[in-house]
Amino acid sequence: MNKYSYQDYLDFNLKISDLNGISSLLQWDQEVGLPKESMDGRARQIAGISGIIHELYTSQYYRDLLNYLENNVDLDKTQKLNIKLSKKDLQRKICLSKEFVEELSSAISNSYSAWEEARSKKDFKLFSPFLKNLIKLKKQEAELIDKSKEVYDVFLDEYDAGLKSKEIKIIFEKLKPQLISLLNQIEKKEKIDISITNKIYPNNKQWDFGIEILKEIGFNFNAGKQDISTHPFTINIGEKDIRVTTRIVENNLNEMIWSCLHEGGHALYEQGLQSQTFGIPESEASSLSVHESQSRLWENHIGRGLSFWKLKYKKLQNLFPENLKDIELNEFYKIINAVSKELIRTNADELTYHFHIIIRFEIEQLLFSNDFNIDDLPEVWDELYFKYLGIKPENDEKGILQDVHWAHGSFGYFPTYTLGSLYAAQFYEHAKRNIENLEQKISDGDFSELSKWLKVNIYEKGRLQTSEEICVSSTGESLNSQYFIDYAKQKYTEIYAL
């Protein structure tokens, strides 16, 4: 009689996933409306569940189960790969004690609360001690997981298996001169007036339009929902419960539109994963780079595309006639694609956006060097913004405190945004080659063939293929930044008559 079965593996991982879902639900609630005085208790609750999950995941039972199934000749290719990937995940977790996991989880919850307060008061000093503690713990985590690797590479491997900082540097160094050249050409042209997007757009009407956008692109509200948060995010509560948040600013139409499309892209990926084997690698996203390719594809290639606004602009005009009645479609298209050096990453255009990422990548390299003083962070941030974009933030809210990632302990996440943009350009170009009249279909509100192409080529691969393997299998070649450069050149040549 077999000691363990593959069903035992499925059942165990479903149990772990359900506990992770409970933890995610607590985090969701923490970020969308938890009473201020409840923060300490919530940090304890999340830390406690994290400890329970870690204890179960690293139990002798699960180790024995994976070791037994690893040598089971009756498993098919997919089942064996699931076991192999789960063993890799387990090896990473075994390195950490339950006590350390609870301490890190608690530190992240407290760090988030401190970040929110510091951001509201525009004062980095309120967040600094929490960030120092978090970085200390993350350094310990990296050393416990793999002493042989650079600290930062340990984090990168978690977000995109095998990715190394030296590879990112090569990609960024190749990209920078191309972006700078295009940016210099655009700066010689007449500026596009974007002031129309900064008129008053009532919050409730923006909210309704954001919901309509999500429905339009295929977000299933029977298996998900949207709410408001300080920083937009997507979270997986369960196989049929994917949640997104948006941010609405009454005098900035861009905030809501781009966050809905960006997080909507993440959510479509999560909703498109296989749900029948929820909790194991084949039902998980390949990597954060591929995840970000989906948010950037829907935000930029679709959402900033003329075809999408042929579909949606009349509705937007009808919602806000006092602002948009005299703005023609082509003019609006140019406005939402105007290139300008802005302080806020999430509002940046497709060109300057990558300098926001390069700045954060360079800072993260500094954060994990031994001789960097965290208190100097706002000054370093300002210097890099002036170096790359020629601008400086007037306060910490629009500078060092604008992103939630570091408060979450998500170091190494930022590079995946640019990698995601590069993947997105390559994926979208090949989708266009494979779907006849795709742009016209988008104008007609028909996203069915694009959704099918993405599902077959990306979503359904789960984690059984790496970023590189998905790229090769769906486009016939490795990641090639020239797709993005060609796309950007064509787009901005038309918009700015270069």
Distances in Å between the Cα of 222 and the Cα atoms of 211, 390, 446, 449 are 13, 46, 20, 22
pLDDT score of 370 more than 90: no
| Mean pLDDT over each residue of the chain, to the nearest integer | 95
Question: Average pLDDT, stretch 161-177?
Answer: 94
pLDDT tens-digit map of 374-425: 999 999 999 999 999 999 999 999 999 999 999 999 999 999 999 999 999 9
Contact between 349 and 187 (Cβ < 8 Å) = no
pLDDT score of 1 more than 60: no
Beta bridge partners of 235: 243
* Residues whose CB falls within 8 Å of the CB of residue 104, separated by 6 or more in sequence, listed in order: 50, 137, 138, 141, 409
**Tokens matching residue 337:** 């694609």
For residue 471, the model assigns a pLDDT of 97
| Domain range summary for the chain, segments of one domain joined by + | 6-145, 165-368+411-496
Distances in Å between the Cα of 288 and the Cα atoms of 274, 345, 409, 423 are 17, 18, 15, 11
pLDDT score of 142 more than 70: yes
For residue 15, the model assigns a pLDDT of 96
Q: Pairing mode, if any, of strands 241-246 and 234-238?
A: antiparallel
Question: Average pLDDT, stretch 296-313?
Answer: 97
pLDDT score of 320 more than 90: yes
pLDDT score of 2 more than 80: no
For residue 107, the model assigns a pLDDT of 95
Give, in words, the CATH class of 165-368+411-496: mainly alpha
Per-residue pLDDT band for 231 (boundaries 50, 70, 90) equals confident
Question: Average pLDDT, stretch 262-289?
Answer: 95
Contact between 396 and 124 (Cβ < 8 Å) = yes
User: How many Cα atoms occupy the beta-carbon half-sphere of 296 within 13 Å?
Assistant: 26
Contact between 339 and 349 (Cβ < 8 Å) = yes
For residue 369, the model assigns a pLDDT of 83
Conformational region of residue 42, where left means phi above 0, alpha means psi within -120 to 50, and beta covers everything else: alpha
Per-residue pLDDT band for 460 (boundaries 50, 70, 90) equals very high
Contact between 378 and 131 (Cβ < 8 Å) = no
Per-residue pLDDT band for 276 (boundaries 50, 70, 90) equals confident
Q: Pairing mode, if any, of strands 224-228 and 241-246?
A: parallel
For residue 3, the model assigns a pLDDT of 87
For residue 275, the model assigns a pLDDT of 84
The catalytic residues are: 263
Encoded amino acid at 287, one letter: S
pLDDT score of 363 more than 70: yes
For residue 138, the model assigns a pLDDT of 96
Question: Average pLDDT, stretch 34-59?
Answer: 92
For residue 73, the model assigns a pLDDT of 86
- Rounded CA-CA distance 420/20 in Å is 26
